[in-house]
Amino acid sequence: MRQAPRKARAMPRDFLTIAARSRRAAPVLSKRMDRAVPRGGQGGGPGAVRGVPTISTPAGRGRGVAEGESTMIAASTFDLLTLALLPGIGPRRTAELRERGPLAGLLARPGEHADLLGEEALRQLRAGEARRCAEAQLQQADRLGVRIVGLDEADYPGRLRHIYDPPPVLYVRGSLEGTEGELSLAVVGSRAASPAGGALARQLSRELAAAGIVIVSGLARGIDSEAHRGALEGGGRTVAVLGSGLDRLYPPENAGLAARIAQAGAVVSEFPFGTEACPGHFPRRNRIIAGWGRGVVVVEAAARSGALVTARCALDEGREVMAVPGHPSQPGAEGTNQLLRDGAALVRGAADVAAELGLVMRVTEPGPTGADDLTALLRADAPLGLDELQARSGRSPADLLACLARLELEARVRRLPGGLFVRR
């Protein structure tokens, strides 16, 4: 289903803990912002690109910079960050201001743009408060091993750059690859996922990631978390987009998962440090998820699910929308079945997704090892309960439980809530 793009609580320690390092003096930022000026040194340090205005920040080990070096941020990114932190200046207003010329001149003479800048934004710019706020964000980013990537930088996601209202800057824990959007796909769904829905999302993401597809989701409970886990199990990249600042991870129980994602992909947000998760932030997050890659797969969604917001954003940007069908009696299938009625592509597995995206992909279900007939009965994407396994296998309850326990220890079977089992 495709539509033409429109025109018009504190952070858990295991996510943001970084190696201890000696205290270093804060940088002195050049007033002209056309060269890097570390305290006690000259501009043009390691990482500087000739001809590209840069600003120096203290080196952060989390970004692979040696002790004592200075990391660099493009001056255009610093200007975008300064603008993004101003009250009342969102992505669309930022785009309007950029159309008037270089942001450096605008920030130096804000009074000439009072029609787009509100009174409080003008006050903060004239008082130097806006610049100090941006510097504070950069310094905190360095302490936490986070990089701030601007809209004009090469590794800013290419497809995201061209949506209706791209975020001016992204806070990134991990790594970005600007061209990976052509092989990126969002997998989203209900927070209150059924065991079957969670298993399918995990298996789908595992197979797609193993085939080289980057899995994008929102780190929420339920389908999103299973999609990320599946991508990690498949040995691929996955990107988690937050509706809060990177130092206010939500939900907090996913801190460990977020740390693993940052090692194998990226955890990103457009929200500055200190921003708590709130309902109004998630639609903004969803447009990023939808715009990152080529399409969206909705695994489970109730009639008013946030996953449907992501699907609508994808439609608005001309992305592919796909959905997994469900039984009409299940509340979690109401939204996905409606998407299918509206023309979304039906997804039964990874092969359907590959076909919809025009990709050649071999998807094979692992067969039984011969050591146990239970592995032949179980599937990776369709959980079975004890009663059904007993009926199909003919085993006694005691024998069945003992065999399942052995298969769990061998990591060949995974137990789900509610006494359900799937094959790994």
Confidence (pLDDT) at 9: 40
| CA angle centred on 48, ends 44 and 50, rounded to 5° | 85
Please, where are the H alpha helices in 37-118?
75-84, 91-98, 103-108
Q: At what angle do helices 306-316 and 281-292 cross, to 10 degrees?
A: 50
Q: Tens place of pLDDT for every residue, the chain, 424 residues?
A: 655 544 444 444 445 543 333 333 333 333 223 323 222 333 333 333 334 455 554 443 333 333 333 456 788 899 999 999 999 998 999 999 999 988 888 899 999 999 999 899 999 999 999 999 999 999 999 999 999 999 999 999 999 999 999 999 999 999 999 998 889 999 999 999 988 899 899 999 999 999 999 999 999 999 999 999 999 999 999 999 999 999 999 999 999 999 999 999 999 999 999 999 998 899 999 999 999 999 999 999 988 888 999 999 999 999 999 999 988 888 889 999 999 999 999 998 899 999 898 887 654 444 444 335 677 677 776 787 777 777 777 677 777 777 777 777 667 778 888 778 887 7
Decide: 48 and 72 in contact? Cβ < 8 Å. yes
Say which DSSP state 131 is in: H
Distance CA 393, CA 333 (A): 30
Counts for the chain of helices (H) and strands (E), in that order: 17, 14
Instruction: Report the DSSP pairing between strands 320-323 and 214-217.
Output: unpaired
Contact 403, 365 (CB under 8 A): no
Distance from chain centroid for Cα 245: 13
Residue 411: per-residue pLDDT: 74
The alpha carbon of 344 is separated from its chain's Cα centroid by a whole number of angstroms, namely 23
pLDDT at position 55 is 56
